[in-house]
């Protein structure tokens, strides 16, 4: 893997793999929902939707036709702190990928006809999410966990806020935030660094770019002052959708590997503590899992469940009981060995995809300013001791940082008292 930072602050990461005749090109723009304010909620997501909808040189139809005729896959996503535009195809078409992607990046016109249609699509998506109770619970969990940080709002905005956005708003947002110091280009596949470097210079580096230092998200994790610990939303459902969010951890935390092993052992597989007790032993839940949502200076560490309303209080009590058992007695050496193997297997298997590798090498640079090396990652997993795993669990599953978001028909959860809520 080779990295390069240009004078304008733009960064390039390239990993060559001659075993596959394809290439993945990702353009990360370090801008997302966190860069919005109350006047333009949802604009980051809408800008992503409009990326391939027409430029000064190409119509939306021409852009899509160019990619389809060459078998190039396109996609994009928006998150709180970054937006990613992705292409993947045969190596022989890499210049076309750069040509069209750069045109969309710098010359999108956001034509009114296309914008009006896409606002309808995005508003339909938002309405769909409001009826997706899992998504509602996750969003509410984010809002209460990140209270007071500026990140405690709905990613994607609301139907009302998106409906008000116009072409001028998108152009202003792009000009303000889509700056070269916020752009990271990640390429993985059968192409050498010199070829990619030349394409970046030809299509992405402009003569009028000023010298700048790259924007980085390698920061300490936020210390969040939790004042509100519980958020309930009523929905017409016989189920309960629950998010229990514990202490924040971010992508550059020194003990992230030990944390991940502890999290996996608690609730991420069919032999984990929570799944074994709540699903296998008692049959009380449809879903029980743990997962992190990690960013630069913040993150969310979640226990998530779906259960029937009649079982929900017992489910909450058993979650508390299971966590207390680990806090008291810790995990076992067998569990550590098991989840080391699971972690290494997952890491190696995901590395078979050039698209996944392009994402990993980019996000490693963005969040940790370190190059992603799979052998180093495996060594880090192997090095974790049982003591470190148990210490990470005590640190990141501390009840004083707990917030809870529940979605159900009625707010009737006596078991929350067990958590001090």
Q: Tens of pLDDT along 128-178?
A: 998 999 999 999 999 998 888 777 888 899 999 999 999 999 999 999 999
230-419 matches 2-203 in CATH topology: yes
In what order do the strands lie in the sheet containing 299-308? 230-234, 403-408, 239-246, 299-308, 285-294
DSSP three-state, residue 366: helix
What is residue 46's predicted lDDT score, i.e. its pLDDT?
Answer: 96
Between CA 200 and CA 183 the distance in angstroms is: 11
Between CA 111 and CA 246 the distance in angstroms is: 44
End-to-end CA distance of the chain: 49
* Helix ranges restricted to H, 181-310: 193-203, 256-267, 273-274
DSSP three-state, residue 231: strand
Q: Tokens for 234?
A: 């009523």
- Domain chopping of the chain, boundaries: 2-203, 230-419
Asked whether the beta carbons of 25 and 98 are under 8 A apart, the reply is: yes
Non-local CB neighbours of 238 within 8 Å, separated by 6+ positions: 308, 309, 409
Q: Which of 125, 120, 93 is CA-nearest to residue 24? A: 93
Non-local CB neighbours of 237 within 8 Å, separated by 6+ positions: 133, 407, 408, 409
DSSP three-state, residue 131: coil
Q: Which of 403, 366, 281 is CA-nearest to residue 82? A: 366
Buried b (16+ CB within 10 A) or exposed e, 288-297: bbbebbbbbb
Q: Superfamily assignment of 2-203 in CATH?
A: Metalloenzyme, LuxS/M16 peptidase-like (3.30.830.10)
Beta-carbon neighbour count of residue 270 at 10 Å? 8
Beta-carbon neighbour count of residue 203 at 10 Å? 19
Stretches in the chain below the pLDDT threshold 50: none
Q: Which of 291, 254, 244 is CA-nearest to residue 388? A: 254
What is residue 226's predicted lDDT score, i.e. its pLDDT?
Answer: 82
What is residue 175's predicted lDDT score, i.e. its pLDDT?
Answer: 95
| Residue 177 phi, psi dihedral angles, 5° rounding | -110, -25
Strand pairing category for 230-234 and 285-294: unpaired
Residues in the chain: 421
pTM over the 0.85 mark: yes
HSE at residue 245, side-chain half, CA atoms within 13 A, is 30
| Residue 152 phi, psi dihedral angles, 5° rounding | -90, 60
230-419 has CATH 3.40.720.10 classification? no
């Amino acid at each position: 893997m080779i990295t390069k930072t240009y004078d304008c602050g733009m960064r390039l990461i390239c990993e060559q793999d001659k075993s596959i005749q394809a290439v993945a090109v990702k353009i990360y723009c370090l801008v997302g929902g966190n860069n919005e304010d109350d006047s333009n909620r949802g604009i980051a997501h809408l800008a992503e939707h409009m990326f391939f909808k027409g430029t000064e040189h190409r119509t939306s139809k021409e852009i899509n036709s160019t990619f389809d005729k060459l078998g190039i896959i396109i996609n994009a996503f928006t998150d709180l702190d970054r937006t990613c535009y992705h292409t993947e195809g045969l190596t022989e078409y890499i210049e076309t990928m750069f040509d069209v992607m750069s045109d969309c990046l710098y010359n999108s016109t956001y034509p009114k006809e296309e914008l009006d249609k896409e606002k309808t699509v995005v508003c339909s998506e938002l309405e769909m999410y409001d009826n997706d109770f899992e998504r509602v619970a996750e969003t509410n969990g984010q809002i209460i966990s990140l209270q007071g940080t500026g990140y405690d709002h709905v990613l994607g905005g609301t139907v009302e806020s998106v409906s008000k956005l116009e072409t001028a708003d998108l152009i202003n947002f792009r000009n303000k935030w889509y700056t070269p110091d916020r752009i990271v280009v990640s390429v993985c596949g059968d192409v050498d660094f010199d070829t990619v470097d030349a394409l970046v210079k030809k299509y992405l580096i402009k003569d009028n770019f000023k010298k700048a230092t790259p924007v980085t998200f390698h920061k300490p994790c936020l210390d969040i002052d939790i004042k509100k610990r519980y958020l309930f939303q009523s929905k017409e459902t016989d189920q309960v959708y629950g998010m229990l969010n514990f202490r924040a951890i971010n992508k550059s935390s020194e003990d992230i590997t030990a944390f991940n092993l502890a999290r996996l052992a608690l609730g991420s597989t069919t032999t984990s503590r929570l799944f074994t007790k709540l699903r296998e032993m008692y049959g009380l839940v449809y879903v029980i899992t743990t997962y992190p949502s990690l960013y630069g200076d913040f993150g969310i560490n979640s226990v998530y469940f779906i259960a029937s309303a009649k079982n929900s209080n017992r489910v909450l009590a058993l979650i508390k009981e299971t966590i207390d058992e680990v806090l008291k007695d810790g995990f076992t050496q067998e569990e550590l060995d098991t989840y080391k193997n699971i972690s290494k297997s997952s890491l190696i298997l995901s590395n078979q995809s050039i698209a996944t590798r392009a994402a990993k090498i980019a996000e490693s640079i963005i969040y940790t300013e370190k190059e992603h090396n799979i052998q180093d990652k495996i060594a880090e997993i192997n090095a974790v001791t049982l003591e470190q795993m148990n210490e990470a669990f005590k640190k990141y599953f501390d009840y004083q940082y707990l917030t809870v978001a529940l979605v159900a028909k009625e707010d009737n959860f006596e078991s929350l008292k067990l958590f001090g809520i």
